[in-house]
Chain A
Amino acid sequence: MPVNVKIPTPLRRFAGEKSELVVDARDVAGALETLLGAYPSLRPQLLAESGAVRSFVNLFVNGEDVRFLDGQKTPVKDGDTLAIIPAIAGGSR
């Protein structure tokens, strides 16, 4: 099913400078695999060596954090939006 994937500014250089892509997928994992198949250089940006999504990367489906849904097994349907959101934080210590 066609799903919209929103690419954040710092990752667009690894995704053909695109801010949004449409991929065919049934769940979040499928959407990521399709995305990473098309843009392999995104892989180390999104995934740890274990294959898990890096802790500094948030995945939201229709505005909801997939950590509070069913993780990468979260189903997606036609017209859903999967947003990749970088964690922004820091501080003096």
Chain B
Amino acid sequence: MTALSLAASALAEIRAGGTAAYPHEGCGALLGRFDAAAPRVLRTLALPNREAEKPRVRFALSPADYMFVEAEADRLALDLLGFWHSHPDHPARPSETDRAYAWQGLLTLVLAVANGEPRDLTAWEIRGPDTPFTEVPIALDTSGE
């Protein structure tokens, strides 16, 4: 993957979601158009963080949330491209936990939120079951499409 195209509106949704969830981790799904070289994230789906014990440093979705996301992607005729989550008062670098749960074919976006303010957003993919994360450059799409 050479770059990820991210709609400006989707970036705004991710930043707002991470801010609203602070000091807990926020999360959501990324929907758009699949392209092996340059996928396009067109919109997000806000999702509740189901992590009960450590929501400041962990996030989790329920199986029902996941099924909802797949159903919404079908309904909107969009592809599920991955998920975003926030790291409150922590850099926008994926952790070992993020890697353990990563799926080949689903992007991992990480938003740093510092003192309640959204900061860096980074994108990552894995290219095989035992490979580390590779960072994917984000290209902001301001066309409004």
Query: Hey, which chain A residues are within 8 Å of B102, CB to CB?
Result: 90
CA distance A45 to B128 in the complex (A): 11
Interface check B108, CB cutoff 8 A: yes
Which single residue of chain A is at the shortest CB-CB distance from B85? A90
Pick out which of these stretches binds chain A: B1-9, B91-99, B134-142. Answer: B91-99
Query: Hey, which chain B residues are within 8 Å of A10, CB to CB?
Result: 103-106
The number of chain B residues with a CB under 8 A from chain A is 35
Q: Taking the nearest CB of chain B, how far is it from the CB of A84, in angstroms?
A: 10
Residues of B contacting A: mostly: mixed
The answer to whether A86 touches B54, judged by C-beta atoms less than 8 angstroms apart, is: no
CA distance A89 to B60 in the complex (A): 4
Q: Taking the nearest CB of chain A, how far is it from the CB of B93, in angstroms?
A: 9
Interface check A58, CB cutoff 8 A: yes
CA distance A30 to B31 in the complex (A): 33
Query: Hey, which chain B residues are within 8 Å of A18, CB to CB?
Result: none
Interface residues on A, range: 20 to 34
A55-89 at interface with B (beta carbon < 8 Å): 56, 58, 60, 65, 83, 85-89
The answer to whether A85 touches B129, judged by C-beta atoms less than 8 angstroms apart, is: no
Interface check A8, CB cutoff 8 A: yes
Query: Hey, which chain A residues are within 8 Å of B106, CB to CB?
Result: 9-10, 86
The one of A12, A19, A58, A91 that contacts B59, using a Cβ cutoff of 8 Å = A91
The answer to whether A90 touches B105, judged by C-beta atoms less than 8 angstroms apart, is: no
Q: Taking the nearest CB of chain B, how far is it from the CB of A21, in angstroms?
A: 15
The answer to whether B70 touches A9, judged by C-beta atoms less than 8 angstroms apart, is: yes
The one of B74, B101, B129 that contacts A44, using a Cβ cutoff of 8 Å = B129
The answer to whether A65 touches B98, judged by C-beta atoms less than 8 angstroms apart, is: no
The one of A12, A89, A93 that contacts B61, using a Cβ cutoff of 8 Å = A89
Chain A residues packing against B (C-beta within 8 Å): 6, 8-13, 19, 44-45, 56, 58, 60, 65, 83, 85-93
Interface pairs (21), CB distance under 8 Å: A6-B70, A9-B106, A10-B103, A11-B105, A12-B105, A85-B66, A86-B66, A86-B106, A87-B60, A88-B65, A88-B101, A89-B51, A89-B58, A89-B59, A89-B61, A90-B95, A90-B100, A91-B58, A91-B95, A91-B98, A93-B95
